[in-house]
Amino acid sequence: AFYVAPLRAWEFLVGSIVFLGHRWSPVRRPTRLLLASLGFAFMLLPVVAFRPETRFPGFNALLPCLGAALYILAFNQEKGRPALPFGTFGARLGRLSYSLYLWHWPVFVLGSAALPLEAAGSVFATAALLLLTVLLAFLSYVLVERPARERIEWRGVPGARLIACAAVVLIAIGAHGYSNDGYAQRFPQSQARMIRYNSQTVAPFYRTHSCFLQPDEPLSAFDMKDCLRSVANKRNVLLAGDSIAAHYDWGLRSYFPSDSVQLLQLTAASCAPFVELDQAKVRSCNEMNQLLRAQIKARRFTGLILSGNWRVYSEFYGRRDATSFHDYLRSLLAAADEAGIPVLLLGPSLEFPAPLAATLFNYERSHLPAGKSFMPIEGAFKADDRMREIARSYPSVQYVSILDAICRARECPLKVAPETPITWDIIHLTPEGSRFVVAQLKPQLDAFLSRLQTAPAGDTEELMAGSGVPAPQNHLPSQVQ
C-alpha cells in the first residue's frame, strides 16, 4: 500500500485535477488566503496528530493530500498572486521538492546510522539532518537538475548514454549482491549474530522432524520410540502442544535432572492440542491429538506440560466457532484431571508485533526509531488473564504465567545476551531464550515436580498400534500460524 503505484493512483489523480483546473483557481486575495491557510493547516495537522500506530497510507493520506491540493490551488495563477510568505516560500520550496525527495532518505538513514545511538533520535540531530537535506537539495538543483533542463548531454556525450551506463552499473551491483546472498561482510559480526537463528538453525533444539512435526509431515515421521519413551523409576513428563510448546524443550531438557526426570515430547507445528477440533490443514494434527488423548487416558506419564499459541487460538476460535476456545481447553484439562495426571499449563508466550531479531538488527544498524516493534502484543496479556480463570476450575492444573515471570509492568526483555534476542521471530524462543525463560520458572517447575511420583515405564508401542479413540465430531476451520 505504501510503495506500489496503483494503490497511490488516487493521489496522482488529486494532483492532476489541481494542475488541469488551474484556470478555475481563485483570483481574489481573500479567497486565496483562505484556501492557502486551510491547505497549510491540513498539511500541518498530520505532523502533530499522526502517531506511529496511525494507519498510513489509506484514508489518513487524504488529509495531507487535500491540504497540498488546496495550497497549490490558491496560488495556481500568476495574476494577482499575493506576496505572502507562504506563497513565496512555497514556490521556492516547490522548485526544490524533487531534490528534497531524493535526498532526504539517504541523509536520514546514513546520518542516523553514523550518529551515536543515544543522539540519533534527538531534536538537534533531526534539525541538522533536515538542514543538510535542504543544502544538498539546493546544490543538486543548481548543479544537476536545472542544467539538465537546459541540455541533455555532458561533454558531448548524450544523456541517454549516460543513463544507460548508470543503469548497467546498478544492475551489475544488484546481480552480484543477489548471487552472493547480499553483502553480509559490511555488518559487524556482533550485529550479524543477532539474526543467526531461523526455522532451520533452531531445528535441532526444537527436535524438528522427529518429536516436532511440520504441517506437511505425516504421523509416520514422528519418532514414537524416542519421543514417547517412558523410563522406569523416573518422573515421566510429557511436553505437548504446538511450536510454542516445542520451543521450551531445549530449556526444560537442560533444567530437569536427567537422573530423575524423563522429558517426553509430542508436538506439531500449527496444531492446537484440541482433540475435538478437526484440523485437517495440518497433516498429522488430528492423529497427534488423538494420540495425546489416548496417552492421557492410559496414564503413560506422570505429569503433563501443556503449551500453545493461546493468544491466536483464543482470538480465532473464540470469535468464529460455535464451540469456543474455552470449551476445547476445558475438555483437555478435564481429561487429564479425570486421569489423575497433574498438569503444568504454560500461559501465552511473549509475542512481538514484528520479528524481534530482524528489528533489533535494523535498529542497531540504522538507529532509526522502531515505534512499537519492541512492545509485546497486548492480546497476549488478555489471553493470559482468560487462561488463568479457566485453570482455577481444575485442582490438578498448575497455571504458570510466562508473561508475569519474565516481564515487569509489561516491560519485557528483548535480549538474553548482547548478541542474542529472546525470540528469533515474533514469538518463537531462541535456544538461549528458552533456557532464560525456563530459568525464571524455577519455583513453579520445582513445585510441579514435587507433585509427581515415579512410575514404571509403560508399553508405548501398544498404544501406537491403535487406541480406538473416535475421530473428531466437529468440523471447524483451522488456522495455520
Q: What is the mean pLDDT of residues 250-269?
A: 96
pLDDT at 453: 76
Beta strands in 208-279 (DSSP E): 212-213, 235-241, 261-268
Q: What is the mean pLDDT of residues 324-328?
A: 87
pLDDT at 465: 44
Radius of gyration over alpha carbons of the chain, in Å? 31
* Residue 290 pLDDT greater than 80, yes or no: yes
**Burial class of 81 by CB neighbour count within 10 A (0 to 12, 13 to 18, 19+):** middle
Nearest to 211, CA basis, from 199, 229, 235, 197: 229
In whole angstroms, what is the distance from residue 82 CA to residue 336 CA?
82
Lowest-confidence pick of 92-101, 138-147, 187-196, 281-290: 187-196
In whole angstroms, what is the distance from residue 2 CA to residue 133 CA?
22
**Burial class of 124 by CB neighbour count within 10 A (0 to 12, 13 to 18, 19+):** exposed
* Residue 462 pLDDT greater than 60, yes or no: no
pLDDT at 480: 30
DSSP string across 80-144 = T----HHHHHHHHHHHHHHHHHHHHHHHHHHHHHHS-HHHHTSHHHHHHHHHHHHHHHHHHIIII
In whole angstroms, what is the distance from residue 449 CA to residue 456 CA?
17
DSSP label of 456 = P
Calculate what percentage of the chain has a pLDDT beyond 70.
90
Q: What is the mean pLDDT of residues 349-358?
A: 95
Are 377 and 319 a contacting pair, CB within 8 Å?
no
pLDDT at 83: 62
Lowest-confidence pick of 85-89, 187-191, 265-269, 404-408: 85-89
**Which residue type does 430 have?**
T
Please state which CATH number belongs to domain 203-464: 3.40.50.1110
Q: Give the cell for residue 143.
A: 548543479
In whole angstroms, what is the distance from residue 317 CA to residue 294 CA?
24
Domain boundaries, the chain: 5-138, 151-182, 203-464
Calculate what percentage of the chain has a pLDDT beyond 90.
61
Q: Which of 25-34, 128-137, 358-367 has the highest mean pLDDT?
A: 128-137
CA distances from 435 to 168, 170, 343, 349, 389 (A): 50, 45, 21, 14, 27
Other C-beta atoms closer than 10 Å to the C-beta of 177 total 11
Tens of pLDDT along 377-408?
A: 999 999 999 999 999 989 889 999 999 999 99
Place of cell 475438555: 331
In whole angstroms, what is the distance from residue 135 CA to residue 150 CA?
22
DSSP string across 362-427 = HHHHH----TTTTSPPHHHHHHHHHHHHHHTT-TTEEEE-HHHHH-BTTB--SEEETTEESBSSSS
> Which three-class secondary structure state does DSSP give residue 336?
helix
Maximum Cα–Cα distance across the chain: 98
> Which three-class secondary structure state does DSSP give residue 47?
helix
pLDDT at 461: 46
pLDDT at 323: 62
> Which three-class secondary structure state does DSSP give residue 222?
coil
Tens of pLDDT along 167-218?
A: 999 999 999 999 987 887 777 777 778 899 999 999 999 999 999 999 999 9
* Residue 80 pLDDT greater than 70, yes or no: no
pLDDT at 95: 86
In whole angstroms, what is the distance from residue 282 CA to residue 270 CA?
7
Element (DSSP H or E) covering residue 171: helix 159-179
